[in-house]
Structure 1
C-alpha cells in the first residue's frame, strides 16, 4: 500500500502561481461506454462528470487553470481498468474519478493505491473496494452493505420473507446475496440461490413454485439474462403474486423499458436520491437533462458530485497527489443530494461519504415513465 505523507490538515498550495502558462489540470475518468458494460449508466455518469468540469471551468478553473477530463472506457473489464490507471498515472493526472461497476472499481482502486494516485469513486458500491485500508481512495456512492440492508427492510415491510435470487458468478452478486441472507434471517426470512446460467427461464419459474418464493431478485446482467427472466415470470400463471426486484438498479434505465415495456414496471430497485432535490439538485438536473436528452439517473448526479468534490480538493489543497489524498477528511462540499463529507464507517477501507440518501423505487405500472418511491433509508 502506498501511504501519503500524514498531515493534521493539508495546507493549500494554489496551482496558479506554479503554472503561469495555465496548463490544464488533468483528471482521469473511468467509465463503461461499451459492452459488456452497462453503457447507459456509463453515458449518464460521463454526462455528470463532464457537466461539472464545464461548470468548474466557467467558474475560473483551478487557480486559473482549466480542468481537463481524460476519459478511458473500461467496458466492465477489471484488467482494462487497471491498465487505464497505469496509463493515466503516466500521463500525469492529478487524480482518477468515476467507474460504475464494482468489480472494475475494485481493480482500479488497487492500482491507484499501489501507484499513489488519488481515486474518487463515483458509483461502485462494493464494501471491500480495497483489501487493506488506504488513504488514496474515497467514494461518494454508499457502500453495498448500507443500501442492500435498506432493500432488505423494504422486503420485510412488504411481507416478503421467502426470497429467491437469480444470480450469476460475481463477487458483487455473491456479496449482495450474503448481505440479504444475513439481514433477513433474524426476521424469519430465507434466501435461496438459483443459478441463472444453469437454469432456463422456464426452469427457474418451476424452481420459484417449488420453493414457494414470494419474491425473485434479479442479481444478473442486463439485458441478458434479466430481460428473458422477467418475461418468463410475468407470463407464468402460477406466479401472479410474486414480487420481482432488481436491487442493482436495472429498471431505472431507458434500455430496460425499451426491452420490456409494461412488464418492466413494478420492479423495485435501489437509487441514491433524496425524496426532493434542493435548488442545486434541481438546477443540475435541468442541465443534465439538456445534455443527455432524457431524465438523468442518479448515476449522473454521482458524476457531478464527484468532480465538484475533487475540484474543491484541488482548489483548497493543490494538485499534488499526496495532498489530494490527505485532504479527504477535511472536505465539506454541497452536492446535488446533500452535504458531502468523508469519514471511515466501521469495516470500510476507504474514505466514505456516509451516506448518500437511499430510496427503493419502481416504475409505476399505471404510468411507466413515472417513478414511485416505495421506501427510504
Structure 2
C-alpha cells in the first residue's frame, strides 16, 4: 500500500527552518563592526650629525711688558758707564765720514778713561753702524737703550737718521747729542732729550751771506754781486741752490755759471765773467778737487781776483797749502771756507786730539770729527756733574753745560728754562750750540802755511781784520 505524505506538516517544518535561517542572517548583519587593532609602533632609525668637540689646554700669556730703559739709576749700581754711538760704517751710508767719527769717539773714550773715568767709573763705548738707514738706526737706538743699558747716545751723521733716533731717545727719555746731522727739524722739535753741537742747515746757509753782507761793496760799483761757478754734479747743485736761496735775503745778487767737468781749460766760463758789465764782489768756486785749483789759477791769470777787487772763495781743498801754492802761485788774497775748528781756534785739548787723530788719518780733523769727539766728552762732563745718570738729571746737567772741549766752548742758551720763541730766535736753536766755527780764512802772504792763515770771519773767531787783500 502506498505511503501518503502529510503536506501541511511538511510545510510547517519548512516555514520554521526558513525563519531560523532568516533570524540568523539578520543577527549577523546587525552585529557591530569589530574594534580596529591598535596601531603598531614602528621605530625609524634617525642619523644625527654631532660636531666633534676637542678639549685642548690653552695657555694665555700675560701682555708683555713694553721695553724699558735699563741704564743704571745711580752710579753706585754701575761697574761701568756705557755710552752708545750710531755712525755710518757701511754702504749705502757715508762710511768714510763714519770711520772718522768712530776714530774720534774711540779717542774720546780713551781720554776720559785715562783721566779717571766718570766719578771713578770706566766708560765703555758701544757703537752701531746705521749704514745711513733711518729704520736700522732706530732699531739700534732702542737696542742701545733697552739691552745695552747706555746712559746717552752720541754721534749721528745723516739728518734722516738723526730724526729717527731723536724719536727713540724721546720715547725712552735718554739724552741724544747729535754731532753732525744738520736738518733744522732735529732740534726744532724741541724734544727735551735732543742736543746738537754741529751746525744746522740754516746756520750753514746764512754763513757766506752774512760774511758778504758784512764786508760790503768791495769794488765800489753800488752793487753786491756774487758769481757762483758750480760744477755739473750733485755737490755743485746743492751748494748753488743753497747760496741762491740765502744770498738774496741779505741784499746780494747772484749769477750762476755752470762748470762742465772733467775739464782742464776753463776759458769759456772765464770769458763770460770778463764780459760782464760789472765784475763781481766775490766768486764762489763750487768745484771739487784739483779742478778747483786749476780754475782759480786761470781766473787769476786772466786778471780776475784781488787786483780787480774781486775775492775768490774756495773750499777746503785749498787748505792743503803745499798743493795750493804749487797749483795757484798767484793765490795771495784767496779766501778759504772752513767748516769746523781750525788750528788757530782750538786750545790744549783740541791740539792734543788733533795729534792723536793724525795717527789714524794723517790730516787735521774734519769738523764732524771734532764734534764726534766732543759729543762723548760733553756727555762725560755732564755725567760727572749730574746727581744721577738717570735721564732727567743728565738732561739738566747737559743744559747747564759750560765747558771748554776740543772744538770750542760749549753751552746751550735755549732750552726748557729759556725756549726759543720761533720768531726772534729760530726754533732750531733749542739745545743748539750757537758758536759752531763756520770760518773764512785768507792767504795773506805768498807761500803761507795754512795753519798760519788768519781767520777773517766771524768776529768771534777773527784773528785779523778782513779782507786783508783788496
Same fold (TM over 0.5): yes
Alignment correspondent of 1:121: 178
Higher strand share: 1
Listed as ranges, the matches of 1:221-370 within 5 Å are 226-227=288-289, 230=292, 233=295, 241=304, 245=313, 262=327, 268-273=336-341, 275-290=344-359, 292-317=361-386, 318-344=388-414, 346-349=425-428, 350-361=430-441, 366=447, 370=451
CA distance in 1, matches of 2:449, 2:90: 27
Structure 1's 37 and 216: CA in aligned 2 closer, same or farther, altered over 3 A?
farther
Map 1:31-180 onto structure 2 (within 5 A).
31-34=87-90, 39-91=95-147, 92-130=149-187, 132-156=189-213, 157=215, 159=218, 161-164=225-228, 166=230, 168=234, 176-177=242-243, 180=246
Residues 175 and 279 from structure 1, CA distance in 2 versus in 1: closer, same or farther, beyond 3 angstroms? same
1:190 aligns with 2:253: yes
Q: Give 1:319 shift.
A: 2.4
Instruction: State the TM-score, normalized to the length of structure 1.
Output: 0.71
SS in 1 for 2:186: coil
Cα 1:241–1:195 change in 2 (3 A) is closer
Looking at structure 1, the residues matched to 197 and 242 of structure 2 have their Cα atoms a distance apart, in angstroms, of 19
| Closer/same/farther in 2, CA of residues 93 and 362 from structure 1, 3 Å limit | farther
Q: CA deviation at 1:115?
A: 4.7
Cα pair distance change 1:240/1:301, threshold 3 Å: same
Answer with 230-239 or 52-61: which moved more: 230-239
Conservation of the 8 A alpha-carbon contact between 1:278 and 1:336: yes
Q: 2:92, 2:408 → 1: CA distance?
A: 32
CA separation of 1:208 and 1:78: change in aligned 2, threshold 3 A: farther
Q: Distance in 2 between matches of 1:101 and 1:309?
A: 20
CA distance in 1 between partners of 2:156 and 2:453 (Å): 27
Report the count of equivalent residues.
Answer: 348
Q: Which 10-residue stretch deviates more, 282-291 or 209-218?
A: 209-218
**C-alpha distance 195-320 of structure 1, shift in aligned 2 (>3 A):** farther
Match of 2:31 in 1: none
- 1:191: Cα distance to partner? 3.0
Would the aligned equivalents of 1:165 and 1:177 in 2 still touch at CA under 8 Å?
A: no
Residues 337-361 of structure 1, C-alpha deviation per residue, up to 9 Å, x if partnerless? Answer: 4432112252134301222344213
Q: Relative contact order (alpha carbons < 8 A, sep ≥ 6): 1 or 2 greater?
A: 1
1:291-322 deviation line (CA, Å, top 9, x unaligned): 54443334333222211110122222232234
Q: Do the aligned partners of 1:201 and 1:228 also contact (CA within 8 Å) in 2? A: no
- Per-residue CA distance 1:80-109 (angstroms, 9 max, x = gap): 444433443343322211133445434433
- Which of 73, 76, 81 is 1:17 aligned to? 76
- Deviation per CA, 1:216-244: give whole Å up to 9, x if none: 353xxxxxx83486378458779773766
CA distance in 2, matches of 1:121, 1:165: 32
Name the CA shift for 1:194/1:288 in 2 (closer, same or farther; >3 Å).
same
Structure 2 gaps of 5+ residues are 1-71, 219-223, 306-310, 415-419, 459-470
Distance 2:91 2:360 in 1: 22
Asked whether the 8 Å contact 1:85–1:108 carries over to 2, the reply is: yes
Cα distance in 1 for partners of 2:345, 2:235 equals 36
Secondary structure, counterpart of 1:162 in structure 2 = strand
Structure 1 gaps of 5+ residues are 1-12, 219-224
Determine the structure 2 residue equivalent to 1:181.
247
Please tell me whether the aligned partners of residues 290 and 317 of structure 2 are also in contact (alpha carbons under 8 angstroms): no
TM-score, normalised to structure 2, is: 0.59
Contact map agreement 2:335 2:440 (CA 8 A) in 1: no
Per mean C-alpha deviation after superposition, the further-off stretch among 362-371 and 104-113 is 362-371
Which stretch of structure 1 is more off in the superposition, 317-326 or 207-216? 207-216
